[in-house]
Amino acid sequence: MKKLFVGLLLVLPLLTMAQVPQPFTVTGKFGNVNAKVYMAYQLGSNKVLDSAQIVNGSFEFKGDLIYPTAAALIVDHQNVGAQKLDMRTADKLVFYLDKGIINITSPDSAYKATIKDSPINDQYKQLQAIGNDASAKTTAMMTDELKSTDTSNSNSADRQNRMQAKLKIIQNEYHQRLKDFIISHPDSYLSLLTLGSLDGPTPDPNEILPLLDGLTKEIQDTETARILRDELEKMKTVAIGAMAPDFEQADTLGHPVRLSSFRGKYVLLDFWASWCGPCRQENPNVVRVYNKFKDKNFTIVGISLDRSDGAFNWLNAIRRDHLTWTQLSDLKFWNNAVAQLYFVQSIPKNFLIDPAGKIIAEDLRGDDLETKLQEVLGK
């Protein structure tokens, strides 16, 4: 359900005339291997695929780059050629290229290779360990749930809320460990890249900008940091504490509805679509909460990201999921005007707006939505 957030982890900066490329050298020793080896990486807007011959285990790559970049070494043991290698099963090593010399050693393969005396790759290992730990905990949680819960009741709202709560604990721990990495490595380019992905596709500028300000001037002066800062400054318009941007969009009957017409109520601005599985799974919880608080100065405005040819699916999903609140859409998929206004890059996504029109919370799912409404409206 994600779209790419401009300037983040996998979007590397374009080269400019003012920036001077720095040389790098990659040397390798893979036992007594004799084979072709490829190195793939991104250089600005260009994808590079270089090759070398491993002779008695030794090989070397040279080049220039401006910023560190992710790279992959792939050994072609069978001499089938780069186009025929299956990247899922190929003998490969993912690492980070940086200026200077990087020495890679292995007894016999890229898969078993190690890199020593490379600060950026040591940091990359730390980030990998953090991610692997979160993945392992998530897998263990899901496995325990499958063992402990009647599978015939696997889609119940109670079970979904319980799993969402457990997943949130894992996510919060993962999030904090990434923040700790950023704070403890202010001079690392990987801290900048981690910042760009810290909150997923829709980062919170109130959280990310102070962390960005804590990086060294050298890192902040990179093109990647400037792109990230520009995007975050734009997103302040829909951050918690900002006044919710007003808009007008058509309802299911084609009648225009303005957000400001709900001023005086708490409004959950809920972005979803009939084709979005997680949205449909969350809908029973939203319906339950709506029915509980709809008479307490609370309502919901749904914004659907359905396609122009999906009007029937949109209306049918509203009926089947019992979404009785106001539903709006221009049926322009990810180009929905309201979604673009609110920088929505993934769904489900929501914003809670107070009676004065101020955004007071976002991404409230599972029990979090009811808890927040109890806080502002009373039990």
**Domains, the chain, ranges and CATH?**
22-113 (2.60.40), 120-238 (no CATH), 248-377 (3.40.30.10)
For the stretch 349-363, pLDDT in tens is 999 999 999 999 999
For the stretch 194-230, pLDDT in tens is 998 887 777 889 999 999 999 999 999 998 899 999 9
What is the pLDDT, as a whole number, of residue 155? 56
And the tokens for 155?
């889609």
Is the sign of the CA dihedral 313, 319, 322, 325 positive or negative? positive
* CA 148-152-155 angle, 5° bins: 85
Enclosing H/E stretch for 252 = none
Proportion of the chain above pLDDT 70, given as a percent: 92
Instruction: For residues 201 and 285, give the distance between their C-alpha atoms in angstroms, rounded to a whole number.
Output: 23
* CA 69-70-76 angle, 5° bins: 130
For the stretch 102-141, pLDDT in tens is 999 999 999 999 999 999 999 999 999 999 999 999 999 9
Q: Residue 347: name the closest of 308, 315, 302 by CA.
A: 302
Q: Residue 24: name the closest of 2, 1, 48 by CA.
A: 48
The pLDDT of residue 6 is above 60: no
The burial class, CB within 10 Å (0-12 / 13-18 / 19+), for 58 is middle
What is the pLDDT, as a whole number, of residue 367? 87
What is the pLDDT, as a whole number, of residue 196? 82
Full-model pTM: 0.80
